[in-house]
Amino acid sequence: MAFIPTKPGTLLSPAPAVMVTCARAGERPNIITIAWAGTVNSDPPMVSVSVRPGRHSHLIIRDTGEFVVNLVGRELLKAADFCGVRSGRDTDKFAACGLEAVPAEGMSQAPAIAQSPVWLACKVRSALELGSHTMFIGEVVSAGVREDLSEPSGRFDFLKAGLVAYCHGEYAGLTRALGFFGFSVARPEVLKRRMNK
């Protein structure tokens, strides 16, 4: 099949839809929905979020040096979309969406969202001015996973969380597992056991 030439752009899809929370002392906490987030290092664990300098959260993250990445399940999708199109300068997004801000271990100001299935509390290690966005690279200093996502083996079942991805202007849910790390070389009995859950 032939490919259609197109101008260079941000076509890397899907991307996780996440709600990033931040706060300054004496001010209400804020939420910004971001699709430009990703893992950048495993030891120490680090993630990145890219934020436009004009966004209300940009100054808060820059000034406080901390943020919390909250994963979005299907039940949070409408709130996530709302928090991506409204500004925290004008709107208390926690109140408008009926969300609860809860303390995140290791954060002095940034809260987590109680309704999120998974959150990652991050301290900013560096900020890269890239053009349209600033990439904040944060070291994950603590994390919270909803209790029902934990399996007896100690593994987390993130598919059970109904996580949402952002795919070129649309939100999409994750499907059932199509494979697992190393499935292409797994022994037949391992493949059968892992894929018949």
Query: Is the peptide bond between 53 and the residue preceding it cis, with omega within 30 degrees of 0?
Result: no
* Whole-number average pLDDT of the chain: 94
141-174: pLDDT as tens digits: 999 999 999 998 888 988 899 999 999 889 999 8
Token representation of residue 82: 């709302």
Q: Which residue has the tokens 């399940």?
A: 73
Decide if 34 contacts 120 (C-beta within 8 A).
no
In sequence order, which residues have a C-beta less than 8 Å from that of residue 11 and are 6 or more positions away? 168
User: Cα 70 vs. chain centroid, distance in angstroms?
Assistant: 5
Q: Are strands 164-167 and 111-113 parallel, antiparallel or unpaired?
A: unpaired
| Alpha carbon distance 197, 185 (integer Å) | 19
| pTM for this predicted structure | 0.93
For the chain, percent of residues with pLDDT exceeding 90: 76
For the cut 80, the answer to whether the pLDDT of residue 196 exceeds it is no
Q: Tell me the β-bridge partners of 126.
A: 137
Q: What is the dihedral of CA 137, 142, 147, 151, to 10 degrees?
A: 80
For the cut 70, the answer to whether the pLDDT of residue 197 exceeds it is no
For the cut 90, the answer to whether the pLDDT of residue 13 exceeds it is no
